[in-house]
Amino acid sequence: MLGAGPAGLVLANLLCAAGVECVVVERRGREHVQQRARAGFLSPRSVALLREHGLDQGLARVGREHDRCEFRSAAGRLDLCYRELGSGGVHTVYPQQLLVTDLIAELERRGGQILFDTTVLAVGDLDSARPWARLRAADGREQRCSARYIAGCDGARGIARTALPVAPAVRDHAITWLALLARAPSTSDSVIYGVHAAGFAGQMPRSPDITRYYLQCDPGIDVRDWDEQRIWHELDERLQAERYGAPPRGPIIERSLVRLRSEILDPIQYGRLFLVGDAATSISPSAAKGANLAIVEAGILAPALGAAVHTGDETELRHYSQRCLPLIRQAQEFSHWMIELLHPPAPNDPEAEYQRVLRRARLHSLTTSAHHRHHFAESYVGL
């Protein structure tokens, strides 16, 4: 396994439980991986898979069910309780760094091996019986390791993606977010989407005293260009603090830039290389699909690898892409719809007014159409 994110760690745990020997290779150190804050919303399907395989101890203890989202725009506020819509599903809020910490501990308990601070320099012979990876440890020593199969779980810019001889279908949305973590409680338990002429703003609860915020910003800015005073001012304006209350203040403990870019590969396998998670598809965080796709894909690949290792039957492995790609396409389509809804057109867009009219129409439809709200709920929660 290349990469110790949710994709690689879930897959490794499932393989270890099935008696399949595996090694996870991670270029970052253990402390970095266990503190890396990313996603925080798990879908019902992800939670069910983790629970089924005994990977939900921390999740069951401190995860919080979440069933509401809110859109704020010039037209007013739309509050959706998606538990009451669609299939009645909910998200579970459980920060990714906690899940990753749980998965590492469980993998070690099951006898799995993780090589931290180890860079994968190259992979080769992917269409042979013994593909290999060339590794470099933190001390500079290099070694070549061979295996029966390689799972690429190392992200959109990892070595596994570049080794796949397939060109992705790409959409650069020309949108950048300033991603923030604040040591402060959320305004409410709802995810809040600020649909504002100045740019998108989002509030995502993470824990009782930590909140994730997003602010649309100009591409290419330096994160240091936005001091805390400016950040809170923009959040107040775009989330309409004057009408609905200001977000509770607290120190900004993390900031980074997210460029919204989507990529779809078809297939997501080649020879004995199989891509999982962000390596298989790049998707914007606008609809909380990335980590959930990673977990579900790992759940599809693990039994297929198990069957191939134990019985030599590679039938399910050959169908891996066919099983995953419909889920990926649906997640990408909904994510794209959310991007179009949440972000104003670029100032120099000759069709800007037309885009603004469509955005108002989408919000109006969500407000007035029960059918649209049910469809939204099913797409928002599910895969």
- Encoded tokens for 322: 């066919």
Q: Residue 345 catalytic?
A: no
Q: Residue 285 catalytic?
A: yes
Rounded Cα distance, 136 and 291, in Å: 27
pTM for this model (two decimals): 0.94
Confirm whether 85 is domain-assigned. yes
Residue of 91, 196, 289, 336 marked active site: 289
pLDDT for res 237: 97
First to last CA, the chain: 24
Residue of 82, 149, 193, 214 marked active site: 193
Q: What's the 3-state SS for the chain?
A: CECCCHHHHHHHHHHHHCCCCCEEECCCCHHHHHHCCCCCEECHHHHHHHHHCCCCHHHHHHCEEECEEEEEECCEEEEEEHHHCCCCCCEEECCHHHHHHHHHHHHHHCCCEEECCCEEEEEECCCCCCCEEEEECCCCCEEEEECCCEEECCCCCCHHHHHCCCCCEEEEEEEEEEEEEECCCCCCCCEEEECCCCCCEEEEEEECCEEEEEEEECCCCCHHHCCHHHHHHHHHHHCCHHHHCCCCCCCEEEEEEEEEEEEECCCCEECCEEECHHHCEECCHHHCCHHHHHHHHHHHHHHHHHHHHHHCCCHHHHCHHHHHHHHHHHHHHHHHHHHHHHCCCCCCCCCHHHHHHHHHHHHHHHHHCHHHHHHHHHHHHCC
Chain centroid offset of residue 91 CA: 14
Q: What are the residues whose beta carbons fall under 8 Å from the beta carbon of 104, sequence distance 6 or more? A: 4, 9, 30, 33, 34, 114
Residue in the block written with tokens 């809020």: 93
pLDDT for res 37: 74
Query: What are the beta bridge partners of residue 152?
Result: 2, 275
CATH for 124: 3.50.50.60
Q: How many CB atoms lie within 10 A of CB 145?
A: 14
Percent of the chain having pLDDT more than 70?
A: 99
Q: Residue 55 in contact with residue 299, Cβ under 8 Å?
A: no
pLDDT for res 324: 98
Residue of 82, 214, 270, 380 marked active site: 380
Confirm whether 374 is domain-assigned. no
pLDDT for res 383: 73
Model pLDDT for residues 221-267, shown as the tens digit of each residue = 888 889 999 999 999 999 999 999 999 999 999 999 999 999 999 99
Residue in the block written with tokens 């867009």: 349
pLDDT for res 205: 86
pLDDT for res 285: 87
Q: Residue 195 in contact with residue 355, Cβ under 8 Å?
A: no
Confirm whether 53 is domain-assigned. yes
Confirm whether 237 is domain-assigned. no
Instruction: Specify burial of residue 353 (Cβ count, 10 A radius: 0-12, 13-18, 19+).
Output: exposed
Residue in the block written with tokens 């993390």: 254
Residues of the chain with pLDDT under 70: 86-87
Instruction: Specify burial of residue 374 (Cβ count, 10 A radius: 0-12, 13-18, 19+).
Output: middle
CA-derived radius of gyration, the chain: 21
- Encoded tokens for 185: 């409680």
Confirm whether 139 is domain-assigned. yes
pLDDT for res 281: 96
Confirm whether 30 is domain-assigned. yes
pLDDT for res 347: 80
- Encoded tokens for 37: 């804050």
pLDDT for res 233: 97
Q: Residue 380 catalytic?
A: yes
- Encoded tokens for 330: 């649906």
| Number of domains the chain contains | 1
Confirm whether 12 is domain-assigned. yes
Residue of 66, 196, 336, 343 marked active site: 66
Q: How many CB atoms lie within 10 A of CB 65?
A: 11
- Encoded tokens for 67: 């069933």
pLDDT for res 314: 97
> Can the peptide bond before residue 267 be classed as cis, meaning omega within 30 degrees of 0?
yes
Residue of 205, 285, 336, 343 marked active site: 285
Q: Residue 354 catalytic?
A: no
Q: Residue 63 in contact with residue 46, Cβ under 8 Å?
A: no
Structural domain range at position 41: 6-170+261-336
- In terms of DSSP bridges, do strands 191-194 and 68-73 run parallel, antiparallel, or are they unpaired? parallel
Rounded Cα distance, 268 and 277, in Å: 10
Confirm whether 366 is domain-assigned. no
